[in-house]
Amino acid sequence: MKAGVVVVLVFIVSVFANPLWAQKKGVEERKNPKVVIGIVVENMRPDYIQRFWNKFQSNGFKKIYTEGAVCSNVKLTLHKQNYASGTATLFTGVHPTIHGIVENTWYDRLKKQEIECTEDDYYFTVGADTETGNASPKNLLSSTITDNLKILSQGKAKVFSAALNRESAMFAAGHAADGAYWLDIESGKMVSSSFYVSNFPDWVRLFNAENYASIYSHRTWTTLLPETSYEECLPDDYLLERGYFGEYNTFPHSINKYIKRTEDYRPFKTTPSANMMIKDFTLQLLENEEIGADNVTDFVTAVFSSMDYENGSFGPASLEMMDTYLYLDQYIGELVKVAEKKYGKENVLFFLTGNTSASYPVDYLKEEFHLTVDHFNVESAIALLTSYLNITYGEKKWIEHYSDLQLYLDHEIIDKSDNVTINEMRDVCSNFINQFEGVQVSMPAYQLEQGSSANGLLEPIYNTYFKNRSGDFMYTLKEGWQPTYKFKRVNYTDQSRIPLVFFGNGIRPQTIKSKHNAVDLVPTLSEMINVPVPDKCQGKIIYELVDDRPSNIMDFLK
């Protein structure tokens, strides 16, 4: 081979391998969007798009997936999937081991009780006479991309979020936002916290005066299409489908009747009407908060739900789930249409993702497909462990608290004991739980505190462990297994794959099959809107989105 050819090839390879070249080229060619609109869906499996594709309309999911850049291999690697940790991870670009939101709730040893991750009695509810606004994002220990945007713009950028759940709203908005709004299940109103809002906006007051939750809860949930056309899902009366309250699993659903049983608006949150409420609220927000009115990029996030807490009662294969996404397809289509008309497609950057995925119910996998999965009875496992500890070390309350996949020991009792240390007790308990059939792996806290970049089975545990918030040992279940309790319901999934699509603002249609993680969203968005990547960010830029280089050397040579 001639020396000149070698030099050319070396140059080409160096260009392809140099991310700074990509970054510089992307920055030069992309104009900052006027608005970033994040569309986040709780409990969304990526394969819903493929399964329901033929029933979607042209201007919703189909438009985004056809005209956008689809990242088809994205994972959210958490110890336990939940919308609080998921949203915090998406918007900070770091895992719970850094941002601190290990779960929706955790046990506070000082208060001797389980606390919700956003509760904060220093603040109060704005918009209703309830306590749902006694909250703040103070437990989120990392800055979000929206925080960085506010800092860089010296507060000029407008940042808002709207969600059905408080945690999703707050962690999508961040600490410095102009407003985070969510549905108050007691009043049925969209509310906020005094942490964000001192004077409740008149437009939100007028929106709440429409009584969305009350009106739409009195409307029976019926299918968007004739039931006979839902070939992509199970029959409506599928025997293994639990349904509302373990009783009601067929259409039509009388939501008002369900609300009378819960005595709040939680059942409303499980319906397409609740997603419509978030869509309508977001459209009002875009209009009334003067979003996109100047040259400073604004950031608005709308968080929708896949049946909320009833996700596991119906499952991914249910008619209810499919109908939820057919309605959601229309709502997203309307949101995209209005935003494009208002700002121009080139001036708005959309991203669509999920803050959690969803698993198929255990009984469905066992009965229909004979998979070796089962329920892991948490209470029975803890009862056996308690008996073992009492026999081995004496009758004491060694276990202070436990949740789905971790356990908190009583440090005071153990410190006073003469025959066991805290780390020895952690080892004993972890090894005991590790012997159960459904347990994949268990790790004591002191080993997790030593730090690791472990991949595979241990990666979700290491990504999530946070000293003083996580338990004394953490464990994971085998694939397909799910924790169960006698009287407590758990919305659990072991699935880690989530959707991620970018659309608008110079994004070219493509499918990106390389492996990526949820923490890659922040550095990628930061690059797109010229915001510094957070110093502690654990993700990497998805360069296919910010770089127009050819995908391979042969294309370059052409």
The whole-number pLDDT of residue 404 equals: 87
Q: What percent of the chain has pLDDT over 70?
A: 92
The domains located in the chain, with CATH, are 31-359+499-544 (3.40.720.10), 375-484 (3.30.1360.150)
190 pLDDT exceeds 70? yes
Q: What pLDDT digit, counting tens, does each position of 126-143 carry? A: 999 999 999 999 999 999
d(CA 523, CA 436): 40
193 strand-pairing partners: 125
The whole-number pLDDT of residue 244 equals: 97
22 pLDDT exceeds 80? no
Write down the mean pLDDT value for the chain: 92
184 strand-pairing partners: none
The one-letter amino acid code at 52 reads F
pTM above 0.75, yes or no: yes
d(CA 179, CA 193): 9
444 strand-pairing partners: 473
6 pLDDT exceeds 90? no
Question: pLDDT: is 11 or 465 the higher one?
Answer: 465
The one-letter amino acid code at 65 reads Y
d(CA 454, CA 130): 44
333 pLDDT exceeds 80? yes
d(CA 32, CA 28): 10
547 strand-pairing partners: none
The whole-number pLDDT of residue 488 equals: 84
d(CA 102, CA 118): 12
pLDDT band at 7 (very low <50, low <70, confident <90, very high): very low
The whole-number pLDDT of residue 3 equals: 52
Count of other CB atoms within 10 angstroms of residue 176: 18
58 pLDDT exceeds 80? yes
